[in-house]
Amino acid sequence: MTFANFLIMFSGVGLLLYGMKMMSGGLETMAGDSLQGILRKATSNRFLAVLVGVVATIAINSSTATTIMTVGFVNSGLLTLTQSIGIIMGANVGTTFSAQMLALVGASIRLDTVAAAFILIGAIMYVFFKNTKVKNIGYVVLGFGILFLGVTTMSDGVKPLRGNESFQAFLVSFDNPFFALLAGFVVTAIIQSSSATTAMLVALLLENCPDTGHPVFDIPFRTVAFILLGVNIGTSLTTVIASIPASRESKRAAIFHIMYDIIGSIVFGTLILIFPVILGFFTSTWHAPAQQAAMFHTIYNVSTMLLLLPFIKYIAALMKKIVPVVEENGNRMHEKKLVYLVDQISKTSSMAVMNARMEICRMWKITNENLDLAMECFFEKDAEKAKIVFENEKTINYLHQNITSVLVEVTNLSLPPGDAKKVSDMFVILAEIEQVGDRAENIAEYVLEVIEKGLDFSDESINEIKAMYSAAKEIIELSLNTYEKQNRPALPKIKKLEDKIDDMASEFIQHHFTRLKEKQCNVNSGVIFTDTISDLEKCADSAEKIAFLME
């Protein structure tokens, strides 16, 4: 085998991986607007959670992306550990779809013909059509074509190995089940895609199909089976890495994923070694080696899912014991760092948009709490609490700047129209939340001025500020709930409440002027009163704007 053959073989691998990435990226772009909704439909019903995992993985052709998204949802608090376990089980089943498709197509049609047709059709749709949906479909079709081209190129590169005794001797070393499993694990861990690894294996086995007439090399089916067991374990490593900076609940989901694959491999591997007739079932039922591998991959994953599905609640309890709760997690929301927008968790565009929204909700909650603290120190004339408000404002500013920086990077990703609109709105929402934070800081500064100058307010003034604050607090909490939970029915109530707050502000300021005329309060106190009322009104304005920016 010459250097040129090696070059052809590895270029085929490169084309296969790139085609797989194009398919996954294109499918994710097409499904981006609904993918999050699909995953969030997973409820405590374990069967529905599994179905959601299967559908989501087939939709984006990547179990790795699905499980990383699931870890992200757990990290964001949108899914429980029990729900995530079902989705991960389903993802392992859904990832077998691409291997089945490749084995089926490759066994019945010349792949080079299919590749040429897909590349031609995909290129025409992507280059010559202006409609975004058509272009996205064309990008996916083009990805399929490049994947099939990679398979045929890789097969051409390995053809000289036909009958090569040294290479056959190398393959014999994988007759040891442990080495075969290790090979599948290592390759998958490196390229971070079980679909791609399985596709490469199926592509090599396609040369063994009777249609070709000339087998390249003979890989024992037992070796193929253990390679596939290793592939399943290898794909879970990416999820574990992704969970490292995330919450402990996310770590539990990731640890379940790798334990699930290890348990499945141990059980199935042991059964194969004790009862070789299991492999005989595959070789006698499906004649083509590629179809044997694809069916083993599917049946193994379905069987593992059925084996462990009844024990989801017990598995969740075990994960909580392995990764126990720690007290310091309670202050996690107030840390001066990004919690949800971490690189590993946000590696897909849909996941980045979802986590950005969660990070913004976190900033909104911190800002709301800081406004509460500012009003508390206002009524109590507490300078120490005012200092805490100033410190919290630094965290709000930090989040504003860093979330904005990440969103700028997200805008460079290939986003579905719906996600692109969400990101555009996020810039506005961040600015509005920052303004609310500034208003809280203003109120804390008023406290220091009141203390320094020894100012007092009339009972009527205090009651009006309390009424204004109560209304502003209500609309802010409604706005936060609306944006966080996409609670559209609350919008009319928010609009009505904001109009009421505008009327209250005008009325209270008019009352203030009356008190000034009657000399019931001094000018300095009056300035702080009107500024405080104005700040609270503007907080309400920002809250209304944020709520109505909901998609």
Q: What is the CA radius of gyration of the chain?
A: 30
Rounded distance between C-alpha atoms, residue 521 and residue 517, angstroms: 9
CA 206 from centroid of its chain's CA atoms: 34
Q: What is the DSSP letter of 440?
A: H
Task: List CB contacts of 492: < 8 A, sequence separation 6 or more.
Answer: none
> Does residue 456 sit within a domain?
yes
Rounded distance between C-alpha atoms, residue 63 and residue 88, angstroms: 8
pLDDT of 100 reads 85
**288 and 356, same domain (yes or no):** no
Domain count of the fold of the chain? 2
**298 and 151, same domain (yes or no):** yes
Q: 459-485 vs 349-380: helix axis angle to the nearest 10? A: 170
Q: What is the DSSP letter of 173?
A: G
Q: Is the pLDDT of residue 241 over 90?
A: no
Rounded distance between C-alpha atoms, residue 414 and residue 21, angstroms: 13
**479 and 522, same domain (yes or no):** yes
Rounded distance between C-alpha atoms, residue 145 and residue 111, angstroms: 9
**428 and 299, same domain (yes or no):** no
Q: Is the pLDDT of residue 350 over 80?
A: no
Q: Is the pLDDT of residue 335 over 90?
A: no
> Does residue 327 sit within a domain?
no
Query: Residue 532 — very low, low, confident or very high, per pLDDT cuts 50/70/90?
Result: very high
> Does residue 329 sit within a domain?
no
CA 188 from centroid of its chain's CA atoms: 21
pLDDT of 456 reads 86
Which residue is associated with the tokens 């179809």?
A: 291
φ, ψ of residue 148 in degrees (nearest 5): -65, -35
**252 and 338, same domain (yes or no):** no
Q: Which of 119, 92, 114 is CA-nearest to residue 102? A: 114
Query: What is the rounded average pLDDT for all residues in the chain?
Result: 82
pLDDT of 330 reads 45
**237 and 97, same domain (yes or no):** yes
Tokens linked to 170: 């190398």
Rounded distance between C-alpha atoms, residue 34 and residue 31, angstroms: 6
pLDDT of 546 reads 93
**211 and 150, same domain (yes or no):** yes
Query: Residue 211 — very low, low, confident or very high, per pLDDT cuts 50/70/90?
Result: very low
Rounded distance between C-alpha atoms, residue 9 and residue 3, angstroms: 10
Mean pLDDT to the nearest integer, 68-84 = 74
Q: Which one of 322, 353, 381 terminates a domain?
A: 322
- Are the C-beta atoms of residues 377 and 59 closer than 8 Å to each other? no
Q: Is the pLDDT of residue 536 over 90?
A: yes
**40-65 burial code (b ≥16 CB/10 A, e <16):** eebeeebebbbbbbbbbbbbbbbbbb
Q: Cα-Cα-Cα-Cα dihedral of 28, 33, 38, 43, to 10°?
A: 130
Residues recorded for the chain: 551
Q: Which one of 322, 355, 372 terminates a domain?
A: 322
Rounded distance between C-alpha atoms, residue 60 and residue 140, angstroms: 10
> Does residue 328 sit within a domain?
no
Structural domain that includes position 415: 334-548
**468 and 532, same domain (yes or no):** yes
Which residue is associated with the tokens 């609309």?
A: 475
From residue 57, give the alpha-carbon distance in Å to each of 144, 194, 305, 334, 345: 16, 12, 15, 34, 17
- Are the C-beta atoms of residues 288 and 266 closer than 8 Å to each other? no
Specify the CATH number for the domain of residue 426: 1.20.58.220
**Of 39-43, 342-346, 412-416, 531-535, which range is least confident?**
342-346
**432 and 520, same domain (yes or no):** yes
Rounded distance between C-alpha atoms, residue 148 and residue 156, angstroms: 12
Rounded distance between C-alpha atoms, residue 72 and residue 85, angstroms: 13
Mean pLDDT to the nearest integer, 129-148 = 85
Per-residue pLDDT reduced to its tens digit, 352-377: 787 788 889 989 999 999 999 999 99
> Does residue 308 sit within a domain?
yes
> Does residue 52 sit within a domain?
yes
Q: Is the pLDDT of residue 289 over 70?
A: yes
**366 and 295, same domain (yes or no):** no
**137 and 188, same domain (yes or no):** yes
Half-sphere exposure of 400 (CA within 13 A, CB side): 20
Tokens linked to 432: 């509005």
**350 and 220, same domain (yes or no):** no
Q: Which one of 322, 355, 382 terminates a domain?
A: 322
Q: 194-206 vs 3-40: helix axis angle to the nearest 10? A: 130
Tokens linked to 34: 């609904």
Rounded distance between C-alpha atoms, residue 119 and residue 426, angstroms: 37
Rounded distance between C-alpha atoms, residue 22 and residue 143, angstroms: 5
Rounded distance between C-alpha atoms, residue 54 and residue 270, angstroms: 26
Per-residue pLDDT reduced to its tens digit, 402-461: 999 988 888 887 676 677 888 899 999 999 999 999 999 999 999 999 999 888 888 899
**Of 32-36, 288-292, 399-403, 412-416, which range is least confident?**
32-36
Rounded distance between C-alpha atoms, residue 513 and residue 503, angstroms: 16
Degrees, nearest 5: CA angle 96-99-105: 135
CA 378 from centroid of its chain's CA atoms: 41
